[in-house]
Structure 1
Amino acid sequence: MSAGALDALARLDETLRRDVRPLLNDAWETATMPDGILGALVPLDLMQPRGVSADEARSSMFSGFRTYVLARTDVSVATVYNAQSGLFRAAVRLGGSAEQADELDPLIRTFGLKGVFALTEPDHGSDVAGGLATSARRDGDEWIIDGAKRWIGGAAAADKLAIFARDVADGEVKLFLVDREAPGVTIDIIQGKVSLRPMQNAVITLDGARVSERWRMQNVNSWRDVAGILRTMRSDVAWIAAGLQAGALEAAVKYVRSREQFGRPIGGFQLVQEKLARMLGNAVSSLGMAVQLSARQDAGEWSDTNSALAKMQTSLMARETVALGREVLGGNGILLEHDVARFFADAEAVYSYEGTHEINSLIVGRALTGASAFV
C-alpha cells in the first residue's frame, strides 16, 4: 500500500483508540449506537482519504485493511461503517446505471446520503435466492413494494433502504432505493441480541410502499446481478473475522501481563502461553487468507468459491480464537471491561452472517466436486 494509505489507517487507529473505544462498554450495556462513533469516523473520509488515489481507495486491499482496523476495535463499529461503505455503496455503484452511480456515490462517500442493504427476509435467509418473497409491482412511473426484510443493520438511521424485491411481471429480482419515511414503511428494532449489541438491526415492513422508477437501480434485473454484488461482500467478512481475532488477542495479552495468580503474572504459565500461541496462529492465518483474497480480487479474479472459502474458514477460526481468549481470562472473560467478552459474543454473529458456515461450505464443495449439494 502507498504511504498515504498507511497514514490513513494510522489516523483511523488513533481515532478509534481515542474517540471510539471509550464509548463501547456503555454502547454494549444499553444496546445503542452512540452518535459519537460515526461522528468520529465520518470526518476521516475513509472512502477517499487524502493522499490516496481513487483507484487505491476503491481497492479490495485498502478497504480490507480499513475493515480490519475497525473490527480490531469492535465488530459493531466495523459493521455499521461497512453497511454504508461496503453493502450500500456497492449496491449503488454496481447496481445503478453509470448516471445513478455518478450522482449518488459522492453523497454516499461523505455520508450525505445514508443507506442500508436490505436483502434477508424473516422467512428467507440462506434460501433467499429462490425464496425471496418481497414483491414489486409497476404502476405507471412508480413501483409498489410489499414484503418484509429482517436483520437490516442501521435501517432506523438510514435515508434510503436498498430493497431487493421480485417483479411480479417477470419474476426477476430488482433493486429499489426506498425512502425510510415513505408511507407504508415500518421499521422495528430487534431486541434481545447477545451479539452486535450496539448495532441496531431491524425488521423492515413494506405495505404498499411506493418508489419512483428513478430510484430503481437499473443494472439489477436478475438474481445473477444480485450475486455479482454479494460476491464483493464476503471478502469484507473475512477481514472482519481476522480483525476481531487481532482485537481479542491484543486484549488477552494485555490481561495476562498484569493478572497475577500464585505470586506471578499468569502470562508466564505454560498453558496460558499455549492458548495465546494458538490464538496468534489463527489470527495470522486469517489475515493471510484475507490478504490473498483481496490481492486476487484487485487482480480481477472475482470468485464465489474463493470468497466463500475465506469467509467460511476465517469465521470458523475466529470462534476458536475468541473462546481461547475467554478461557485465558477465566471468570473475567465475560466482563466488558476486559474487551474479550465483546469479541467472544460477536464471533457468533460473524460465523452466521453473509452466508452461514454450511452454505459457504457447499459453495466450496460444489467447486471441488462439480456436483451441487444444494436442495
Structure 2
Amino acid sequence: MTFSPIPSDFYGYENLLADREKAVLTELRHYLETEVRPIVNDYWARGEFPREIIPRLAEFGLFGLPWEETRPFENSAVFRGWIALELARVDASVATFVGVQNGLVMGAIGVGGNPAQRAEWLPRLASGELIGAFGLTEPLSGSDSAQGLRTVATRDGDDWILNGSKRWIGNATFSDITIIWAKSAEDGQVKGFIVPTDTPGYSATKIENKQSLRIVQNADITLENVRVPEANRLQQVHSFRETAAVLRLTRAEVAWAAVGNSIGAYEAALKYAGERIQFGKEIASHQLVQDLLVKSIGNITASIGMVVRVSQMLDEGIQRDEHASLAKAYTTSRMRETVAWARESMGGNGIVLDYDVARFFADAEAMYSYEGTREMNTLIVGRAITGKAAFV
C-alpha cells in the first residue's frame, strides 16, 4: 500500500515518520477502515467490546511497541502517538483498550518490574495471550490517588493480602491479570501487584448505563483477602513515584487519542457537508458551515503540533510531567470544542449514531476526564511555571 497523509493532517506532520513506521500505519489504517469502522457503532450501541479484533491488533505489534522484550521494530514515541490517533480516529474505545494494554499494564510492568517479571509477562501481553487491566482509581479516590488510596496490602510471610476496591477499571470484565496499586500497611508507601483475575477474593462487576466510551468494559473491582505472592509484587515500585512514571508515559498518548477523536468527528462532519443539500446546494458551500469546519481543522492542526513535540521530547529524554499534562489538558479542551462544532454542523442528524458524530461527541466527555482531569493537569503545569503548588 502507498503511504499518504490523511487530509486532516493539514500541515503534513505524518511525513516526519520513518518509512517502516509509515508502512505499518498505512496497513493499520486500511484494517481499521475496512474491518473495524463498519462494526463499531453496533458494538457501541450494545455496550460490548469486539474481542475478535484483538488478535489482529496484536499482529500489528501494537501491544509491544515501546518495550525491548517485545518491540517489533525500532519506533519512535511520535509513531506510537500516531497509532493512538489513528485508533481514536475510528473509535476512541478501541484506542483506550490498546492504551490500557500497551501503555498502562505493560507500562507498569516495564517501569516497575524486574528483569524476570518483564521477561515473564510482557511477551504474553504483547501477543494478546493475556489481556490486562490497570487498577488505580477507587470509588473515593481519583485525582488524589497519590495520597488517597484506600486499598491496603498487608505482608503475610511470602505473600501479600490485598483488601479494598477499585472503580472505572478498563478491560477489567475480561482481563486475565490486573495491576493493583495499594498502600503497604507496613510503610504506607504505594506498591504494585500483578493479580491474576481468577485469584480467590477478586471480583469484577461491569459498570452499566455508561453514555461515553460504551465499548470500553469498565468494572468495579472488589478485593477481599486476595493473596498475592511476593514474586508478583512489582519489584521496582517503591512509592507513588513509579506509578506517576507510568502515567507520564501514557498521558501524552491520551492527548494523541483526543486529537484522533477530534479528527473522527471533523471528518464525519466534512463528509456530511459534501452530501447534505439545503437551500438547493450542498451545505459545504454555506459560509457558516465552512466557519465551523475551519475552526475545527485549526484546533486539530494546533493540537497535532503540540503532541508531536511532546512525543519528540520523550524520545529525547527531556519530557517532564508538566509537558505531558499541558498536552493532555489542551488537546482535550480543543477536542470538546471540535466535536461540538461537528455536531452543530450536522443539525439533528448530529445526534444520530448512524452518522458517527454522536459517538465521537459522547466519547469526548470521558476522554476529557480520564488520565487526569483538565483541572489536575492545569495544577501540574501551574506548579511548574510559577514554582507554587496550588493543590488542596
Band of TM-score, shorter chain = over 0.9
**How do 1:244-283 and structure 2 match up within 5 A?**
244-283=261-300
2:204 counterpart residue number: 187
1:215 counterpart residue number: 232
1:32 counterpart residue number: 48
**Aligned amino acid, residue 175 of structure 1:** G
How far apart are the structure 2 equivalents of 1:345 and 1:8?
A: 29
- Cα distance change on mapping 1:58 and 1:204 into 2, 3 Å: farther
2:301 counterpart residue number: 284
1:130 counterpart residue number: 147
Alignment check: 8 A CA contact 1:165 1:175 kept: yes
SS of equivalent residue, structure 1 residue 155? coil
Q: What TM-score do you get using the length of structure 2 for normalisation?
A: 0.92
1:18 counterpart residue number: 34
CA displacement at 1:55 relative to structure 2? 8.8
**Aligned amino acid, residue 133 of structure 2:** V
How far apart are the structure 2 equivalents of 1:95 and 1:112?
A: 21
**Aligned amino acid, residue 126 of structure 2:** R
How many residues in Structure 1 have an aligned counterpart in Structure 2?
A: 373
How far apart are the structure 2 equivalents of 1:240 and 1:45?
A: 18
How far apart are the structure 2 equivalents of 1:150 and 1:358?
A: 20
CA displacement at 1:48 relative to structure 2? 5.5
CA displacement at 1:5 relative to structure 2? 1.1
Percent identity between matched residues is 47
How far apart are the structure 1 equivalents of 2:248 and 2:236?
A: 16
Residue 160 of structure 2 corresponds to residue 168 of structure 1: no
Q: What TM-score do you get using the length of structure 1 for normalisation?
A: 0.97
How far apart are the structure 1 equivalents of 2:74 and 2:88?
A: 18
Alignment check: 8 A CA contact 2:54 2:128 kept: no
CA displacement at 1:231 relative to structure 2? 1.1
Choose which of 324, 328, 332 in structure 2 pairs with 1:311: 328
SS of equivalent residue, structure 2 residue 310? helix
CA displacement at 1:355 relative to structure 2? 0.5
Alignment check: 8 A CA contact 2:351 2:357 kept: yes
How far apart are the structure 2 equivalents of 1:45 and 1:183?
A: 32
1:66 counterpart residue number: 83
Alignment check: 8 A CA contact 1:57 1:63 kept: no
How far apart are the structure 2 equivalents of 1:73 and 1:161?
A: 27
**Aligned amino acid, residue 60 of structure 2:** L
Alignment check: 8 A CA contact 2:21 2:75 kept: no
CA displacement at 1:113 relative to structure 2? 2.2
Alignment check: 8 A CA contact 1:56 1:62 kept: no
Alignment check: 8 A CA contact 1:47 1:57 kept: no
- Cα distance change on mapping 1:321 and 1:57 into 2, 3 Å: farther
CA displacement at 1:156 relative to structure 2? 1.5
Residue 18 of structure 2 corresponds to residue 2 of structure 1: yes
- Cα distance change on mapping 1:14 and 1:70 into 2, 3 Å: same
1:86 counterpart residue number: 103
CA displacement at 1:198 relative to structure 2? 0.9
2:372 counterpart residue number: 355
Q: CA RMSD in A?
A: 1.5
Alignment check: 8 A CA contact 2:182 2:192 kept: yes
CA displacement at 1:336 relative to structure 2? 1.1
SS of equivalent residue, structure 2 residue 133? strand
How far apart are the structure 2 equivalents of 1:138 and 1:272?
A: 62
**Aligned amino acid, residue 230 of structure 1:** L
**Aligned amino acid, residue 20 of structure 1:** V
